[in-house]
A and B are shown apart, each in its own frame.
Chain A
Amino acid sequence: MRGHCGLFFESYRAEAAVFPSRFQRVSLGLFAAALLLCPLALSGYAMSVLNLILIAVIGAVSLNLLTGVCGQISLGHGAFIGVGAYAAAQASLHGAPFLAALLLGGLAAALAGMVFGVPSLRLKGIYLAIATLAAQLILEYVFLHWESVTGGSRGLLVNAPRIFGYAFDSEHKQFYLLFAITSLCLLCVTNVLRSRHGRAFVSIRDFYLSAEIAGVNLFATKLAAFGLSSFLAGVAGGLWAHYTMFVSAEQFNIGLSVSYLAMIIIGGLGSVTGSVMGAAFMTLLPEFLNAGSSALSGVLPGIGGQIVALREGVFGLVLVLFLIFEPEGLANRWRLIKAYWKLYPFAH
């Protein structure tokens, strides 16, 4: 990139760079710096919402890798997150250091994901969705009944994360931990997408037969997608377990799987930025609706009950409107906004 007008590349390597332009590098750096300064300015509540978003981002980006990039729909993602949460919790209860527990959680989830990913060789689309739904139900049953490991209906109590004796025991401290791990996961997924494996994932999504003819080993690649995606989901689960300090079967139900699917659809299938946006959107929407409804019931007392009911409806309505008006997700809208400003004020 030599010229200063527009963006063009002279090699494939340059085109596939993680941050293709200096402007992008600078703005991303500024964004990260602003985020890192957040704990100084924001209250505990705002930080807790940010922390929930960061955990959701890992879950969303991992599902996007599987569903958005590789085209393998999964309704069992919530359960894979649960496997990671239980495994990480058990590991740290047995004295493993936090980071090792997190890795073990990821590995356990990857194993579970690969086992339940085996049917993907034969099943596609809606059939695979049902197979992964079965994974969700089976794992939920295991969470509830394997008492010696999962604590059954009593759940597991976990301690706050601690690295080399330093305890991350407040929202503000945990933010830095979560921020570091989330950035790492995002970088990892972005780089996978640029690799041979990433291109193989996309080729399977676009048309499995062409992919196979081009020399992609369907079974190995699909399993790799399930494994990697579940590994990251397991990391998200491990973080969730250490963040809430309590793991129980109810947290990883089908509702969680569906809400992760909603995140990546709203954010944009196959896009890392989209996963981030979708996760932020889905976590913030109930908060905004809550704030809105409590503000409204302050102005109009006596209709509190109806507002609560209305809020659930509004949540659904917003999702449907999104699907109608933004079928390609927030990531696409973001691209369009950027394109608009690129030519400003000389729009055609």
Chain B
Amino acid sequence: MKRMLTWMALALMVLAMGGCGGEKKDDKAAGAAKEIKVGGIIDLSGPTSSVGAPYAEGVKAGAAYLNSKGGVAGMTINLDVQDDAYNVQQGLSIYKKFAQDKVVAIQGFGTAVTEALTRTAAKDEIPYFSASYSAHLTDPKTAPYNFFTSADYSTQIRAALKYFKDNWKEQRKPRLALLYPDHPYGLAPIPAAKEYAAELGFELVGEATVDLKAIDATTQLLPLKDKKPDFVWTGGTTPSTAVILKDAKKIGLKATFFTNIWGTDENLIKMAGEASEGVVSLQAAAVYGQDVPGMKMILEASKNQPQMTHYVRGFVSMLVMGEGIRLAAAKGPVTGPGIKAALETLKDYDTQGLAPSVSYLPDDHRPSMAVFLYKVTGGKLAFLAQETLERKAQWLGK
């Protein structure tokens, strides 16, 4: 009997909480005058949070930086970042909340949620910036409202192959091996890599899958060792890349390992230690403290606290979105379609060296064809080169 009452009291409390939530929204709407609402759907918890959290900090710092400089076209950006925990359902309901609150644009993050929202964002006409750089999101025919600021996964791997080929001195063909997780994110650039490698004259000597949660990669690496690859692509995230690097060192596999954008960051060097030395990393943003003009903004925004490269990338993503909002505001009221149209006029937007310059076209959302190559030297990410590819029409979305 007493227990029954406790339960009923609990139920009442839950109902009351729901009621409170409803009331609060009305207060918020009243205070919105010269304010632009931007939503954030980023993985702050869950399997990708180790990169999602610094990225979110960068996005927030970008908004705070824009606001501290007088806002965008006189309006302040009201950024609300929510955690989707890399879960499609949660991402979906956060998105619906944002759509109802009439955000003009969204800063998203992971592949699963971004792709699940592609159609919905297009229907609701909300520009969706993501940190999922799958090439098919750059084709406005299928993803008209999707934008991102980094070269896509396929362009990244193509740029690296081009760089290696251009710097290849020996007579024989360079030997290439591909290691990647059996996961949409890992599989995405593989067809592009194979096609372009064949075109450039690489010899593909091996291919294997290494799981994102792998704790051992010797089974995959031992057969590779006999084939003596010169270059090994590792298309996972930092934990699996660290496993591969350490195991390669253990069995004495000597090759130039190159990783995609999520495969190397400041954490990899901590995880893999000396084994990470010499790894070539493909990036789309400067590392903290690099000597580029835009670093002043980062130092100011981060109050001189060292940040990961994901932070810089989040910051750039917000800058580009801010530029889109500014251009849209110059033409009329700031709306989703207005921002989209404005972004599609963006030509060589200068991020002051924080990232390759960004352009979008109405029929081509590839932000840039340039990729930053870094090499782990002395336990630090050292800038190696910027490789810029031709904007070929047949590569769009592939």
Residues of chain A having any CB pair with chain B under 8 Å: 43-45, 48-49, 52, 141, 144, 152-155, 157-158, 160, 169, 171, 244-246, 248-251, 255, 283, 286-288, 290-292, 294-295, 305, 308-309, 311-312, 333, 336-337, 340, 347
With A45-B100, A311-B45, A337-B4 given, is the CB distance from A245 to B120 under 8 Å?
yes
- Set of chain B residues within 8 Å of A154, measured between Cβ atoms: 134, 136, 184, 188
Q: Does B53 contact A (CB under 8 A)?
A: yes
Min CB gap B209→A, angstroms = 11
Residue contact A52 to B93, C-beta cutoff 8 Å: yes
Residue contact A286 to B1, C-beta cutoff 8 Å: no
Min CB gap A278→B, angstroms = 15
6 contacts between A and B (CB under 8 A): A49-B96, A158-B119, A251-B88, A290-B83, A294-B82, A305-B53
Min CB gap B137→A, angstroms = 10
Residues of chain B having any CB pair with chain A under 8 Å: 1, 4, 7, 14, 17-18, 20-21, 24, 44-46, 53, 82-83, 85, 87-90, 92-94, 96-97, 99-100, 111-112, 115-120, 123, 134, 136, 142, 182-185, 187-188
Residue contact A45 to B97, C-beta cutoff 8 Å: yes
> Per a CB cutoff under 8 Å, which of A246, A288, A305, A333 touches B14?
A288
- Set of chain B residues within 8 Å of A248, measured between Cβ atoms: 112, 115-116, 184
> Per a CB cutoff under 8 Å, which of B82, B96, B120, B185 touches A290?
B82
Residue contact A246 to B119, C-beta cutoff 8 Å: yes
- Set of chain B residues within 8 Å of A288, measured between Cβ atoms: 14, 17-18
- Set of chain A residues within 8 Å of B46, measured between Cβ atoms: 312
Expressed in whole angstroms, the Cα–Cα distance for A288 and B16 within the complex equals 12
* Interface hub of B20, B46, B115, B185 (most chain A Cβ within 10 A): B115
- Set of chain B residues within 8 Å of A157, measured between Cβ atoms: 118-119, 142
- Set of chain B residues within 8 Å of A337, measured between Cβ atoms: 4, 7
Expressed in whole angstroms, the Cα–Cα distance for A218 and B119 within the complex equals 45
- Set of chain A residues within 8 Å of B24, measured between Cβ atoms: 295
Residue contact B99 to A44, C-beta cutoff 8 Å: yes
- Set of chain B residues within 8 Å of A336, measured between Cβ atoms: 4
Residue contact B93 to A48, C-beta cutoff 8 Å: yes
Residue contact B188 to A153, C-beta cutoff 8 Å: yes
Expressed in whole angstroms, the Cα–Cα distance for A292 and B16 within the complex equals 12
Task: Return the 9 tightest CB-CB contacts between A and B, nearest first.
Answer: A153-B184, A245-B119, A48-B96, A153-B187, A250-B112, A45-B97, A45-B100, A44-B100, A45-B96
Residue contact B182 to A141, C-beta cutoff 8 Å: yes
Expressed in whole angstroms, the Cα–Cα distance for A154 and B386 within the complex equals 28
Min CB gap B355→A, angstroms = 25
Q: Which residue of B lies closest to A313 (CB)?
A: B45
Residue contact B182 to A144, C-beta cutoff 8 Å: yes
Residue contact A287 to B93, C-beta cutoff 8 Å: yes
Expressed in whole angstroms, the Cα–Cα distance for A311 and B90 within the complex equals 13
Residue contact B184 to A249, C-beta cutoff 8 Å: yes
Expressed in whole angstroms, the Cα–Cα distance for A193 and B185 within the complex equals 43
